[in-house]
Structure 1
């Protein structure tokens, strides 16, 4: 199993003290988190993309470029790139540049995104968001793989033998599809033979597992090699201590913040108590042994070979969360790396049999697809 640390760069007052750190300091915290993740041996560090309060992750390419200059080994993830909101040509330019600046350490997780405010900001509607996401991905994918590109598009000007620069370093790049509640992202991933990343954070495992099952079915439907099917999964929180009661106590402020947020937006919490949250959510709260057992149980159901944990703790101090990450790296990660699952690393230029999840669509089929209207499938 490969291990990622991910942040959405939430910028909100500390629930215990009410203090809101300056924006500059909040970005500095993210930098420290990435450097810590690399020093602890994590395989990847991810930055989300949100365009509304309380997030500071509206420019993931800028932030990841900075992190690329400060790190040397760790792979850099988008979590997720909201292609439904973006012009795919501009997104391609940004990410192809970042691919070079990171020496080919870029990994993309794409998705339609969440939030009414950011939809309104970009003039996207709930009715067309999935179609925009699919069209943007198809254009982005075509540009990355084989130019010039011709595409009949609905949501941006059509492309006519378009060439866009720079050429990327990784040919092709691995693109994961973020999956939360709908089958559309699952179907898109399966159609193109791409890996799936289950959010697995806001509810119990059952609906996420159902979507992963559907992904497996669709993967076979599209004729892809079963050995290359790859799933990643998130976790809802992290608090590890030698004694489980200490881990729970350390997480109590974060859970109180969760309940307060649910109350503020008028939503009944999925997990009304901390005990219920620890028991039924994907949160990794407890002793190292308890966390290993829980990840193993989830892995049996989801079959994932990549796991993300929170790079930063909301409602707990930076030092407290650092301690959890250190315990995770020292006492949990070695056991998780032995869990069964398909290999997923090796760089996008590696042989697919070595673990890179590739589509079986041929180059000639790619060229043929560029002659049909994007999104027509």
Structure 2
């Protein structure tokens, strides 16, 4: 199994935006230091998030790291001009040395949809159209194209050409079959959100993905699934983990109620039992991930990287415990395909005449 850490860069008034961005970069450096496989930055264009520009944040992280793969989680293509998105991410691909992977999706949030004039009626069609153009721009030197939501292209050359000529693009999946269908059609991997609800609706979408994958003529063995987790805190005993995490969980529930959002798991015990939240001893967390794997068949898993109320010492100790006692068991129990190797950068003199 492979392990990512992700952040949506949620922000409150306890820290300035500058401090919050610095914290994100420090967490990415820590994730690489501890041996995580990837670091992801989400994209949101509304409060309480500061993640409106993942390529900028990831470019800074690329300069501070050397090994860890860099993910978007997700790139909201339904809101973006795919030409501009391509330019940003092709540039980031070079700056990161070919460590980039994308997770794309339509995005969530009414405020950001209004900001970009996207409607419920057209959001999925925008996502599909933007993805299919983005995919062509990445693979083809020149593109002629016509669609509904941006001006047409005629023999367009968009630069820079990417360092990775074939990039792996995951499709984020939460509640709808549209993203599942798009992933299966193009032979792309699926990343299940697996955060806000019990496992059943997510497992049903993953099952549908595998069915549609075969329908579109792909080898069932090639289907690739990732899944998120709603939170993480491990300690030596379950009693210690629960006691430490309870005020964090209770604060999260209180925030949801203040915002008028549904509370699916009202107590910490309920969340540990029915949600993907990982709180407990190392063995309890291993057992829970293995149970989820039986339903989802995922090879890649993400953990939220933000401290979310933990002290810096608690935060680091929990991540160190994950890598020391949890990750090695899961890596051994759940085989996973390697991430693509970063390509070698071409020589500065390549292509020059003698």
TM-score band by shorter chain is: over 0.9
Query: CA separation in 2, counterparts of 1:80 and 1:317?
Result: 28
Match of 1:55 among 46, 49, 53: 49
3-12 or 336-345, which moves further after superposition?
336-345
Q: CA deviation at 1:311?
A: 0.8
Match of 1:130 among 124, 127, 136: 124
Matched, 1:269 2:263: yes
247-256 or 81-90, which moves further after superposition?
247-256
Pairing 1:141-180 to 2, within 5 Å after superposition: 141-180=135-174
Paired residue total: 344
Matched, 1:208 2:202: yes
Q: SS of 1:45's equivalent?
A: strand
Pairing 1:189-200 to 2, within 5 Å after superposition: 189-200=183-194
Unaligned runs of 5+ in 2: 345-354
Q: SS of 1:28's equivalent?
A: helix
Q: CA deviation at 1:180?
A: 0.3
Query: CA separation in 1, counterparts of 2:24 and 2:129?
Result: 32
Query: CA separation in 2, counterparts of 1:305 and 1:37?
Result: 19
Pairing 1:33-48 to 2, within 5 Å after superposition: 33-48=27-42
Q: 1:65 to 1:51 in 2, by over 3 A?
A: same
Q: CA deviation at 1:28?
A: 1.0
Query: CA separation in 1, counterparts of 2:220 and 2:200?
Result: 23
Query: CA separation in 1, counterparts of 2:261 and 2:7?
Result: 24
Aligned to 1:8: 8
Matched, 1:87 2:81: yes
Query: CA separation in 1, counterparts of 2:169 and 2:335?
Result: 19
Query: CA separation in 2, counterparts of 1:347 and 1:176?
Result: 17
Q: CA deviation at 1:150?
A: 1.2
Aligned to 2:348: none
Aligned to 1:118: 112
1:227–1:342 Cα contact (<8 Å) kept: no
Query: CA separation in 2, counterparts of 1:214 and 1:344?
Result: 24
Q: CA deviation at 1:160?
A: 1.0
Q: SS of 1:338's equivalent?
A: helix
Unaligned runs of 5+ in 1: 14-19, 351-377
Q: CA deviation at 1:231?
A: 0.2
Q: SS of 2:332's equivalent?
A: coil
Q: CA deviation at 1:147?
A: 2.5
Aligned to 2:350: none
Matched, 1:334 2:334: no
Q: SS of 1:9's equivalent?
A: coil
Q: CA deviation at 1:228?
A: 1.3
Aligned to 2:22: 28
Q: CA deviation at 1:341?
A: 4.0
Alignment deviations for residues 260-313 of structure 1 (CA, whole Å, 9 cap, x no partner):
122112234100111001111101100000000000010111000000001113
Query: CA separation in 1, counterparts of 2:291 and 2:259?
Result: 32
Match of 1:292 among 273, 278, 286: 286
Aligned to 1:354: none
Q: CA deviation at 1:318?
A: 3.1
Query: CA separation in 1, counterparts of 2:295 and 2:161?
Result: 40
Query: CA separation in 2, counterparts of 1:251 and 1:311?
Result: 15
Query: CA separation in 2, counterparts of 1:150 and 1:304?
Result: 37
Aligned to 2:303: 309
Q: 1:344 to 1:230 in 2, by over 3 A?
A: farther
Give the TM-score normalised by the residue count of structure 1. 0.89
Query: CA separation in 2, counterparts of 1:130 and 1:123?
Result: 13
Aligned to 2:243: 249
